[in-house]
């Protein structure tokens, strides 16, 4: 059975969403981010990213991680590409060419978007979004994404989905990267194709189920 290590209020959410899309049985092992705990190394601390047992799975001390049989994988977007290839049906590539495009667009999301969307959500998480310094971080992140978002906007002209004319793992992966920037509504209003596409992604039953489970987790520990 697939085991997912993480919590829904983390980048593990994208792996939980993928598992819901696939309809496969999985076990969830809650692993908290160490930064959420006053003393993550305390003997009575819940399992977290600095717990020795978890570090044996991911020495980078990050969630998510998965175990599928004897295979251990880290890095959320790579995990989803693996799950799509093994279990995905229509979510995965039907040809080598589609598989290549899904890999290319996922790597593109990491290299061109992920760092900046991460800065945006971190600024909100730290409560700095209304400060001068915080707004500066957000503004720079949005400006830096101008070119890659223009590329995706043009690619989505006349298309509902990124590859293959159907919802696939690459739509899920990129939608999850961009979810961290959805606080910046002007960014999406300026890119109507992207705005319509991400709304299609986030209206899917599996996404809504992931968000329902996420809402049940405590924000603070």
Report the phi/psi class of residue 189: left, alpha or beta, with left for phi > 0 and alpha for psi in -120 to 50. Answer: alpha
- Do the Cβ atoms of 163 and 94 come closer than 8 Å? no
What percent of the residues of the chain are helix, what percent strand, and what percent coil, each to the nearest 5?
55, 10, 35
For the entire predicted model, the pTM comes to: 0.96
Percent of the chain with pLDDT over 70: 100
Q: Please identify, in words, the CATH class of the domain defined by 2-90+207-216.
A: alpha beta
Q: Which CATH number is correct for 91-203, 3.40.830.10, 3.40.718.10, 1.20.1050.10, 1.10.3720.10?
A: 1.20.1050.10
Which tokens belong to 120? 């945006």
Residue with tokens 């189920």: 209
- Which pLDDT band, with edges at 50, 70 and 90, does 221 fall under? low
Q: What pLDDT, on a 0 to 100 scale, did the predictor assign at position 20?
A: 98
Using DSSP bridges, classify how beta strands 26-30 and 2-6 pair: parallel, antiparallel or unpaired. parallel
Q: What pLDDT, on a 0 to 100 scale, did the predictor assign at position 158?
A: 97
Residue 159 confidence (pLDDT) above 80: yes
- Determine how many CB atoms are found less than 10 A away from the CB of residue 64: 25
Residue 58 confidence (pLDDT) above 70: yes
């Amino acid at each position: 059975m697939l085991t997912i290590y993480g919590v829904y209020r983390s980048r593990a959410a994208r792996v939980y969403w993928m598992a819901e899309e696939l309809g496969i049985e999985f076990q969830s092992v809650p692993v908290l981010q160490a930064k959420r705990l006053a003393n993550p190394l305390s003997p009575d601390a819940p399992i977290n990213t600095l717990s020795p047992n978890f570090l044996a799975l991911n020495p980078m001390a990050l969630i998510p991680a998965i175990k599928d049989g004897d295979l251990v994988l880290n890095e959320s977007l790579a995990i989803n590409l693996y799950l799509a290839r093994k279990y995905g049906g229509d979510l995965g590539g039907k040809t080598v060419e589609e598989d290549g495009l899904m890999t290319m667009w996922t790597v593109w999301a990491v290299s061109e978007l992920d760092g900046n969307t991460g800065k945006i959500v971190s600024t909100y998480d730290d409560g700095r979004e209304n400060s001068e310094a915080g707004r500066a971080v957000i503004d720079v992140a949005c400006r830096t994404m101008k070119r890659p978002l223009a590329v995706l906007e043009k690619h989505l002209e006349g298309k509902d989905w990124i590859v293959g004319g159907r919802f696939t793992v690459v739509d899920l992966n990129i939608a999850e990267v961009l979810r961290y920037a959805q606080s910046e509504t002007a960014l999406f209003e300026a890119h109507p194709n992207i705005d319509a596409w991400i709304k299609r992604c986030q209206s899917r039953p599996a996404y809504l189920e992931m968000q329902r489970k996420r809402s049940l987790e405590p924000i603070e520990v």
